[in-house]
Structure formats: structure tokens, C-alpha cells
């Protein structure tokens, strides 16, 4: 379920939404590296003060911005590992909705809970949203995942949540509320579709 055996072309064909998100992450990262004076990063990063002043696009754009190579690599790797299984379970449109809604929810929580000077970037709020949705699948729809798959995702989600409080420079609000929003979306939709 979480191992990748497809060729590059097959991956893009089977998982177009994951592929588009990865492309956006890499594209925006490369633009900020290749054109550092273009202020792309500054215009798209989540800055709570600017969001409060009306720049509401900053609730969505930080999901595609990253603060360094290791940051974009880790989040992209997580998306490649866990995104395809959920895109397959949920379907393309629903997967895109889960990703965007949980990522925006994480950024709204960051706006409400962090100071006005707080700046944030990264797709980890949305990725934790995927973990939350997977946790709902494991709890409400055991028939959609193998027992091993459920154990893997729950273990990784728990480790991820623990690491949220241990590692420095982590947007704790985004991780927690991304996970909670993913779980709630999963609980509501999976129970209704049972």
C-alpha cells in the first residue's frame, strides 16, 4: 500500500493530484532558489499580520512554499509515500479537497493561535491532514485498508505528532489542526458512505 513500484509515467497517470502537488512544491521551491530577488517567497508565505490585513491567499499558498531543500524534500517524500494510497481510496477530486481543506484549516489555526508576527510555510499541515484522514479510515472503515497498512499509518502519525513537540521550528498548530481536520473530514464522510 505504501510501497511504490510504478514507473515515473505510471505514477503520474495513476496519481495525478499527488503529482500536481509535488510539481507545485518543486516549482515554487526552484523559483525561490533561482530568483531570490523576485520576492516570491515573501509574497506567498503565511504571515499572520498580512493575512489579518486582507491577504487571504496566504491561507493557501504556504502549502506549496518551503524554507529549504531539506524541508521540500521531506514533505515531498511524505506525500509520495502516503498520498497515492489515499488518492486511490478517496478518488482524485475528494483527495484534492482533503489536501486543500486540511492545509487551509492548519493555516487558519496558525492564524488564530500564533502571534501576528508569525511566518509559516510548508505542506506539513496538509500532510498531517492526510494522516488524520487515514486514522479515520483505520477507525471507521477497516475494510478499506489492510491491518498492516492501518498499523503503519497509525504508528507514523503518532511518531509524527510526538516529533512535532520535540523538533525545533515546527508549526505545532498546523500539525495538530491539520490532523484533527483530516480526522473529522474522514469521520464525517466515511460514516456517511458506510
pTM higher than 0.75: yes
- What average pLDDT does the structure give for the chain? 92
Predicted confidence (pLDDT) per residue in 78-101, tens digit = 999 899 999 998 999 999 999 999
Task: In whole angstroms, give the CA distance from residue 132 to residue 119.
Answer: 24
119-141 average pLDDT score: 94
Predicted confidence (pLDDT) per residue in 33-69, tens digit = 999 888 999 999 999 999 999 999 999 999 999 999 9
Q: Strands 46-47 and 119-120, how do they pair?
A: antiparallel
Q: What is the pLDDT of residue 194?
A: 56
- Torsion angle (degrees, nearest 10) of CA 187, 160, 61, 173: 80
| Active-site position among 78, 173, 175, 181 | 175
CB atoms within 10 A of CB 38: 11
Ramachandran angles phi, psi of 4, nearest 5°: -105, 120
Backbone region of residue 54 per phi and psi (left: phi > 0; alpha: psi in -120 to 50; beta: other values): left
| Active-site position among 124, 173, 181, 189 | 124
Task: Find how far residue 7's CA is from the centre of its chain.
Answer: 24
Ramachandran angles phi, psi of 55, nearest 5°: -85, 70
* 181 in catalytic set: no
119 three-state secondary structure = strand
Determine what percent of the chain is predicted with pLDDT higher than 90.
Answer: 74
* 175 in catalytic set: yes
Amino acid at each position: 500500500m505504501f510501497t511504490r513500484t510504478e514507473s515515473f509515467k505510471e505514477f503520474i497517470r495513476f496519481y495525478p493530484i499527488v503529482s500536481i502537488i509535488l510539481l507545485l512544491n518543486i516549482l515554487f521551491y526552484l523559483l525561490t532558489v533561482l530568483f531570490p530577488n523576485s520576492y516570491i517567497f515573501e509574497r506567498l508565505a503565511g504571515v499572520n499580520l498580512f493575512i489579518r490585513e486582507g491577504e487571504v491567499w496566504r491561507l493557501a499558498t504556504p502549502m506549496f512554499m518551503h524554507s529549504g531543500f531539506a524541508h521540500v524534500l521531506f514533505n515531498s517524500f511524505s506525500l509520495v509515500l502516503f498520498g497515492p494510497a489515499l488518492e486511490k481510496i478517496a478518488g482524485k477530486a475528494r483527495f484534492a479537497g482533503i489536501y486543500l481543506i486540511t492545509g487551509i484549516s492548519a493555516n487558519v489555526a496558525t492564524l488564530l493561535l500564533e502571534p501576528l508576527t508569525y511566518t509559516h510555510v510548508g505542506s506539513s499541515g496538509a500532510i498531517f491532514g492526510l494522516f488524520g484522514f487515514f486514522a479515520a479510515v483505520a477507525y471507521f472503515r477497516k475494510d478499506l485498508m489492510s491491518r498492516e497498512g492501518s498499523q503503519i499509518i497509525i504508528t507514523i502519525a503518532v511518531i509524527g505528532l510526538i516529533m512535532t513537540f520535540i523538533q525545533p521550528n515546527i508549526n505545532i498548530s498546523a500539525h495538530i489542526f491539520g490532523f484533527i481536520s483530516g480526522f473529522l473530514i474522514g469521520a464525517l464522510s466515511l460514516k456517511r458512505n458506510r
